[in-house]
Amino acid sequence: MTGFWTVCKRELKGYFATPVAYVFLIIFLFFAGYLPFKERFFEARQADLRLFFQWLPILFVFMIPSTTMRLWSEERKSGSIELLFSLPITTSQAVLGKFVAAWFFIGIALLLTFPMPITVFYLGHPDLGPILTGYLGGFLMAGGYLAIGCFFSALTKNQVISFILAVVACAVIFSIGLPTTLDYLSGFLPKAILGAIENLSFQTHFESMQKGIVAFKDISYFILMIVGWVWACCIILEERKAA
Amino acid sequence: MINVTNLRRCFGPIVAVDDISFEVGKGEVLGFLGPNGAGKSTAMKMLACFLTPDGGTATVCGHDILRNPIKVRQSLGYLAENAPAYGEMTVGSFLNFICDARKIQGKARGETIEHITGLCAIESVYHQTIDTLSKGYRRRVGLAQTLIHDPKVLILDEPTDGLDPNQKHEVRKLINKMAKDKCIVISTHILEEVDAICTRSIIISKGKILADDTPEALKEKYQCGLDEVFRMITKGESA
């Protein structure tokens, strides 16, 4: 447990010791506000955050790999991984520590979008339920994206490669659940496989959560996704840390 | 305190460490000598539980490196080549991080950090970020990190590389001072260093141990200086 907290604390401090955190937060918050605005957030005259949540998955596709790309690549490139693993810390403690720190950081970013709900509460009487489940879904989805990014960061020493691979993987997992993709696939894939593909996507599960539904299958999907990728990250790192 | 048996490690087709066995006891300072690429660093990384061996094993303070790596890491201090550290941290926060990981807390922490910064002469850069330090200071910060928990076993990979003559002298003095109640393994290719601090030296080339004796005995045996001994042994192998 000590190992986990040590890594987590150092990592989180690291975000704010470098400009990484501030650059990320400013860009993220700008787009999180601008994209719904551009889509007629005010003209729609609806007191809800549908437009805000709708853009979140796409924003995450680019923003989250940019925070995770350095997690392990940098550590391996600079050799500090050798220092880290000469301390009494196990691989899984270190991986989890870094993952949780990144997740916490994204949590902060999400909390800082508070002017959005305040705006709709000021202008109308929105339903609190879907807003809360939407945030919960957004946070869980961020965890999924982060776990993928974490995995690709452990795969290579090169941050650019890890960024690109993570963006592609995130984009695929996001977009296979979009209606357009599914329409196209339905032309030649049998229905059972189509259902399976649809259920693999972030989009499908996040969508039902932003409607205010907290279903066991959605929550367990995100948790399985996180556990699976983080575990894979541990295995890869154990294999490659010295290479 | 260190017991190595048939340790072996390959990288693809290259055999980096080939079936080496040796023992190091308390009070000994073992110098690991060898040309570049001889397998010194690989062997040390395995002892520090950073690399897993392909064959054989070793024990450090009675703990097996394969079965109990965390215990091994708790009982040894390891300074990797180039003294890696987190560049964006200040020396102070870096040492605090190490204390976190090594469970040095409360009052003991303050005392430990004060003691170690004095010992390694890094008080003056305590609030500087590591990225801004010169090579010598970086290495001393690395040394401080290695010594912070007062380990019984020290593994130092080229500890004096990049230091100026005065600093080299200081580090050697430090090692000599600690030598009697610790077990120290250092790698180097500076032969005068072996004369100055090592009680025993192992010459390794292409992953194999070619000589294992005190520096004096080696000089005696070959009737020449240590650098000639080194040349004869390592060149003889490749010829």
Residue B203 belongs to domain with CATH number:
3.40.50.300
Q: How many helices (H) and strands (E) would you count in chain B?
A: 9, 10
What's the pLDDT band for A4 if we cut at 50, 70, 90?
A: very high
Interface-testing mutation among A2, A74, A75, A86, with chain B (most B C-beta atoms within 10 A)? A86
By three-state DSSP, how is residue B214 classified? Answer: coil
Domain that holds residue B176: 2-80+152-238
Domain assignment present for B86: no
- Measured distance CA(A124)–CA(A212) in Å, rounded: 18
pLDDT at B90 over 80: yes
Domain assignment present for B58: yes
B80 and A CB contact within 8 Å: yes
- Measured distance CA(A33)–CA(B176) in Å, rounded: 63
Domain assignment present for B104: no
Report the mean per-residue pLDDT for chain B. 88
pLDDT at B135 over 50: yes
CB-nearest to B73 from A14, A80, A87 is A87
Structure tokens at B105: 């807390």
Q: How many domains does chain B have?
A: 1
Q: What is the DSSP letter of B93?
A: H
What's the pLDDT band for A204 if we cut at 50, 70, 90?
A: confident
H/E stretch holding B125 reads: none
Residue percentage of chain A with pLDDT more than 90: 59
How high is the pLDDT of residue A63?
93
pLDDT at A167 over 60: yes
- Measured distance CA(A105)–CA(A174) in Å, rounded: 21
The answer to whether B112 and B104 have CB atoms below 8 angstroms apart is yes
The answer to whether A9 and A2 have CB atoms below 8 angstroms apart is no
Does ipTM exceed 0.90?
no
Size of interface A-B (CB pairs under 8 A): 64
Chain A residues in contact with B98 (beta carbon < 8 A): 87
B88 and A CB contact within 8 Å: yes
Place of tokens 């150092």: A10
Long-range CB pairs of A116-122, under 8 A, 24+ apart, other chains included: A116/A32, A116/A33, A116/A36, A116/A49, A116/A52, A117/A49, A120/A47, A120/A48, A120/A49, A121/A47
What's the pLDDT band for B181 if we cut at 50, 70, 90?
A: confident
H/E stretch holding B6 reads: strand B2-11
Chain A residues in contact with B82 (beta carbon < 8 A): 79
The answer to whether A21 and A110 have CB atoms below 8 angstroms apart is no
How far away is chain A from the Cα of B233, in angstroms, using its nearest Cα? 30
pLDDT at B239 over 70: no
What's the pLDDT band for B237 if we cut at 50, 70, 90?
A: low
Domain assignment present for B178: yes
How high is the pLDDT of residue A161?
95
Amino acid at A239: E
The answer to whether A173 and A100 have CB atoms below 8 angstroms apart is no
B99 and A CB contact within 8 Å: no
Interface-testing mutation among A72, A74, A82, A98, with chain B (most B C-beta atoms within 10 A)? A82
As a whole number, mean pLDDT of residues A93-103 equals: 95
What's the pLDDT band for A62 if we cut at 50, 70, 90?
A: very high
Beta pairing, strands B153-157 & B183-188: parallel
As a whole number, mean pLDDT of residues B191-211 equals: 86
Q: What is the DSSP letter of B129?
A: B
Please report the residues numbered 139 through 168 in chain A whose beta carbons come closer than 8 angstroms to any beta carbon of chain B.
none
Report the mean per-residue pLDDT for chain A. 91
Backbone angles phi, psi at B228, to 5 degrees: -75, -40
- Measured distance CA(B40)–CA(B83) in Å, rounded: 16
As a whole number, mean pLDDT of residues A30-58 equals: 87
Q: Cβ A79–B84 below 8 Å, yes or no?
A: yes
Domain assignment present for B30: yes
By the 10 Å C-beta count (0-12 exposed, 13-18 middle, 19+ buried), A216 is classed as exposed
Chain A residues in contact with B127 (beta carbon < 8 A): none
